[in-house]
Structure 1
Amino acid sequence: MKRTGRNRQEIAAGLAWAAIGLGAIAIAANYAFGTIIRMGPGFVPILLGALLAVFGVIAAWQGRREPEVSLDLRWRPFAFIIGGIVVWVLLIDHVGFVPSTVALVAISAQAERDVTWLETFLLAAGMTLVGYLIFIRGIGIPIAAFGS
């Protein structure tokens, strides 16, 4: 098999994700793990940290065989996605889960230039409904759906 080179960016990113996963495991190691039926506070962080570490190592391993690529940094997606998250954090306590999630999705969807308002509306409605059903109705997180 012909070796094409090493993609140092891919290797570094994979190792960074693996380190973050191992960090999550280290932080959650002092929490009770529990069982699948009765999960303790360490169950989810440890499992997610392990998955992150495994996928990070896989990404780094695959980077050994990928050719080096130039970094194409696009600021629009970065700005709109981070902006949507910031708006959600600022709004959630004042207007509730539903309006803040709609704002998050509507702002983040603008990261792509060719997204239509209909697609944005349908995505915001679907994501908000699913989030409401999972987090407020299903899990019972005490967040107001509308207003504080």
Structure 2
Amino acid sequence: MKIKSQRDFWSGLMFLAIGIGFAWGATNYNFGSSARPGPGYFPFGLGILLALIGALVLFKALTIETEGGDKIGPVAWKPLSIVLGSVAIFGFLLPWLGMILTLPVLIVISALAGDEFHLGEALVNAAVLTVGSWLVFIKGLGLVIPLWPSFIG
């Protein structure tokens, strides 16, 4: 069997493996029922869905011809390290600075990974995403996430 698109093949394989891993990991939790889902219900469903998407992409990579084989290029290490670093900084700072200050830090640092960084656009994105996150996670879902810095109260 010939791989007709390297990008689709490897990304499909990655989605398939991660989906199976999440679904398998979710089996350690209580599933509950459809009316009262337990903690394993949602991650199991998402894992299966991700695995199915991966299988479809993998099937496409093996059946549909692409021009030049759609080769994988070099890994963009700088943007990858900037995004991963910003997520690590977010996780480290959240308990002390709260979501209102830490989320804009995450967004501005992550925006530095792009080729076209504009501070004004990054700040507008940070404001919109911070308000949206507050609405979804604090007001909508009622999660207990520190909102303000710990030294404020």
Compute the displacement of 1:7 (Å).
2.4
Match of 2:97 among 50, 70, 95: 95
- In structure 2, what is the equivalent of residue 84 of structure 1? 86
Which digits, 9 at most, give the CA deviation of each residue in 1:96-144, with x for residues without a partner? 1111111111100111121311110111111111111111121111111
Q: Which moved more, 1:101-110 or 1:35-44?
A: 35-44
Q: Which residue pairs with 1:45 in the alignment?
A: 43
**CA separation in 1, counterparts of 2:35 and 2:138?**
21
Identify the residue that residue 54 of structure 2 maps to in structure 1: 56
* Structure 1: gaps of 5 or more residues: none
- Equivalences for residues 2-17 of structure 1 within 5 A: 6-17=4-15
RMSD: 1.9
Q: CA deviation at 1:34?
A: 3.1
Runs (4+) off by over 6 Å: none
1:21 aligns with 2:42: no
CA contact (8 A) 1:5 1:68 kept: no
Aligned residues: 145
Q: TM-score, normalised by structure 2?
A: 0.84
The 1:5/1:51 distance shift into structure 2, 3 A limit, reads: closer
